[in-house]
Amino acid sequence: MTTVDMRYTGSALDRVEGLEKVTGRARYAFENFPADLVYAVPVQAAIARGEIRAVDVDAVLEHPGVIAAIWYGNAPRLVPSDNADLAVFQSRRVAYRGQYIAVVVAETYEEAKEAARLLRVEYAAEDHDVRLRADHPNMYRPEKVNPNYPTDTEHGDPDTALTVAPVLVDATYSTPAEHNNPMEPHATVAEWDGDALTLYDSTQGASGVRDTVAPLFGVPPANVRVISPHVGGGFGSKGGPSPYVIIAALAARHVGRPVKLAVTRQQMFAVTGYRTPTIQRVRLGANADGRLTAIVHDAFEQSSTITEFAEQTTTPTRIMYAAPHRRTTHRLVRLDVPTPSWMRAPGECPGMFALESAMDELAIACQIDPVELRIRNEPDADPESGLPFSSRNLVACLREGARRFGWADRDPAPGVRRRDRLLIGTGVAASTYPVYRRPSQATAQAHRDGRFTVRIAAADIGTGARTVLTQIAADTLRTSPDQVLVEIGDSALPAASLAGGSMGTASWGTAVVRACEALVEGLDRRDGDLPAAGMESSADTTEEIGAQRRLSRHAFGAQFAEVGVDTDTGETRVLRLLGVFAAGRIINPKTARSQFIGGMTMGLSMALFEESIMDLEFGDYLNRDLAQYHVAACADVRDIEALWVEEDDPHLNPMGTKGIGEIGIVGTAAAVANAVHHATGVRIRDLPIRLDKLMR
């Protein structure tokens, strides 16, 4: 066994699968073509609430190439589960416009698409309600918020503290529904062999899809294999199986042939999740010197009538700033809309827009620099739990960011700096994201030729997971990355947590380290003398994670933005964007920078463009494609940079890492909004910052 002196973690290693991707050899879900394949095209409900009376299946079956048309009236029965969204074709009820209510299977995609278009459905429509409002009579307090946080928290007497506070900010902020739009649309190829099901799926977690799908069809998890070696983005929308996965499997079993189903971009606006719109009221009480005495943050959100999903919007407020009196609440209303779900940095992203906008308003009210205000309210420990932080370097991020951004030269007066037709302004906001780690399993195998294979059912959704796991394994095995093959993206491999919650590297990396450590110990005992079949070791981190010390674990960051607002049109451009982060040990600077600036670009997009517009009459989103649902393009990202401060945190995992995939988006929208106020004197509390709002 070769020992190398270089440590590969911390180096900017190129993506190990890069050649596969640029040469087209990387295979995505839709690119699987088992023998005898047929195509499925779902039919969506044309009403927002009501019941299906009849579906003219017989007429569709007469079309060329059509093999089957499936709906509630002839669909196989699924085993009931807690996830009602996955009970496809099990009821006549329509819960939202765009819901999948039938599917047509045909020899070709074109034949299936045409037949689905012509399928006649008779409805009994009912009045629907699709508008979120804070005073909705059916607003209620859910038992918990995602993933398992307390719905409300309260400490001290915040109402009294607000009443007597020398300085008070009381403002309402709102964010619209926003839709995940990964480059690769959702797709599944389903193939049955007796009672064994294989799914080629675009997913953020093969193990989770297997464990969810198997019981629906009454088979053990071992009978379901989910293969997903490459995923073209997800942003949370591929965190679990959506209805299309179940439809593909159901249709494949029904017709006895492999079935391919691809979700169109337009369909994604109804059936693959989205970020709930929010209405948030933030009240801050402070002394004249800007020190907070009270924080109250109330969030109002929506879910569907099918499934409850309550986003954890106010949870970041619980750990951000010191204040003796505090309260956070969440309220939810069930509307005739699709079920919201995870979208990059759920909770923290919309919640920090409101909190950090309010902090900017407080800084102005107290006539204190916004960076200094945040530093003055830095807590010594977690403000609500009292737990010590494993590490917390928000102040370092603020100070380093201010230095690099040139913040010291900022004139605090709004609306006074011009550059030709542009009003120029700068803004700052803090960001945070919790550190999660979930149990995972891995194996490590040594081969007689000196190479190693590491196996774990992780997912690489474009983040560089393969690469960083290769680096982690190489260092633990005392070898070089080119001697290590990491196999991921298959539920037949050792079970792994999903790629979400910024917990992939922490969860999978721990399992890989432990499996590789066990292998090294075994090799050392044998003095490198391998049997003919090589040697393999395994690890399961369940017990290790369950026994971890109780600490408050979070990543932190600071976002700085410079904007230019056209005085004639109200058009806003982000001229500069800087993020400085404290996120533990950075395994690969190249992939990490991509993650940070990717999140920041999404935050810029949230600030200026993204908005799913609900048609109240028909109960459907009007802008259901990327021609009308606007996202940031290259021309909108003119000067963007991400940096990080060194952070050594031994309390996290063997690598000392914190998640980096989501914290970049958190705080960015607030930094942009705060910069727009500084440029114009106009406070936009309702995203996105459209030119019509500024011109008013």
Count of CB atoms situated within 10 Å of the CB of 183: 9
CA distances from 267 to 34, 106, 270, 301, 473 (A): 25, 19, 6, 23, 40
| Residue 104 placed within a domain | yes
Taking the C-alpha atoms of residue 394 and residue 111, their distance in angstroms, rounded to an integer, is: 57
Q: Kindly give the residue spans of alpha helices, DSSP state H, lying in 394-493.
A: 394-405, 465-477
pLDDT at 173: 98
| Residue 534 placed within a domain | yes
> What phi, psi does 476 have (nearest 5°)?
-70, -35
| Residue 133 placed within a domain | no
Q: Coil, helix or strand for 279?
A: strand
Contacts 24+ apart (CB under 8 A), 367-372: 367/412, 368/289, 368/290, 369/410, 369/412, 370/427, 370/428, 370/674, 371/398, 371/399, 371/402, 371/407, 371/428, 371/558, 372/290
| Residue 3 placed within a domain | no
Q: Is the same domain home to 260 and 282? A: no
Q: Is the same domain home to 312 and 459? A: no
pLDDT at 214: 98
Q: Report the 3 state secondary structure along 1-42.
A: CCCCCCCCCCCCCCCCCHHHHHCCCCCCHHHCCCCCCEEEEE
CA–centroid distance for 45 within its chain: 27
Q: Is the same domain home to 382 and 413? A: yes
By the 8 A CB rule, do 109 and 42 touch?
no
Assigned token pair, 502: 């910024």
Identify which of 282, 338, 351, 283 has the alpha carbon closest to the alpha carbon of residue 311: 351
Domain span at residue 621 reads 144-178+274-435+551-695
Residue that terminates a domain, selected from 517, 546, 575: 546
Q: Is the same domain home to 590 and 461? A: no
| Residue 579 placed within a domain | yes
Q: What is the DSSP string of 153-209?
A: EEES-HHHHHHH-SEEEEEEEEE-BB----SS--EEEEEEETTEEEEEE--S-HHHH
Taking the C-alpha atoms of residue 17 and residue 47, their distance in angstroms, rounded to an integer, is: 45
Q: Is the same domain home to 173 and 259? A: no
pLDDT digits 0-9 by tens, 20-42: 999 999 999 999 999 999 999 99
pLDDT at 6: 58
Q: Is the same domain home to 317 and 376? A: yes
Q: Is the same domain home to 456 and 398? A: no
Q: Is the same domain home to 401 and 318? A: yes
Taking the C-alpha atoms of residue 693 and residue 696, their distance in angstroms, rounded to an integer, is: 5
| Residue 139 placed within a domain | no
Q: Is the same domain home to 113 and 213? A: yes
Assigned token pair, 194: 């007796």
Q: Is the same domain home to 326 and 410? A: yes
pLDDT at 4: 39
By the 8 A CB rule, do 303 and 334 touch?
yes
Identify which of 278, 274, 282, 329 has the alpha carbon closest to the alpha carbon of residue 301: 278
List, by residue number, the catalytic residues: 662
Taking the C-alpha atoms of residue 29 and residue 527, their distance in angstroms, rounded to an integer, is: 43
pLDDT at 77: 96
Residue that terminates a domain, selected from 529, 546, 563: 546
| Residue 373 placed within a domain | yes
pLDDT at 34: 98
| Residue 13 placed within a domain | no
DSSP one-letter code for 324 = S
Give the helix/strand (H/E) hosting 614: strand 614-615
Taking the C-alpha atoms of residue 662 and residue 592, their distance in angstroms, rounded to an integer, is: 11
CA distances from 682 to 246, 378, 425, 559, 695 (A): 48, 28, 11, 20, 9
CB-count burial class (<10 Å; 0-12, 13-18, 19+) for 265: middle
Q: Is the same domain home to 367 and 283? A: yes
> What phi, psi does 297 have (nearest 5°)?
-135, 115
Domain count, the chain: 3
pLDDT at 1: 35
Q: What is the chain's Cα-based Rg?
A: 26
Identify which of 451, 466, 496, 458 has the alpha carbon closest to the alpha carbon of residue 20: 466
By the 8 A CB rule, do 430 and 356 touch?
yes
CB-count burial class (<10 Å; 0-12, 13-18, 19+) for 496: buried
Taking the C-alpha atoms of residue 250 and residue 244, their distance in angstroms, rounded to an integer, is: 10
CATH number at residue 519: 3.30.365.10
Tell me the HSE value of 26 on the side-chain side, using a 13 A CA sphere: 20
Residues in the chain predicted with pLDDT less than 70, given as ranges, are 1-6
Residue that terminates a domain, selected from 546, 565, 598: 546
> What phi, psi does 190 have (nearest 5°)?
-115, 135
Q: Is the same domain home to 556 and 640? A: yes
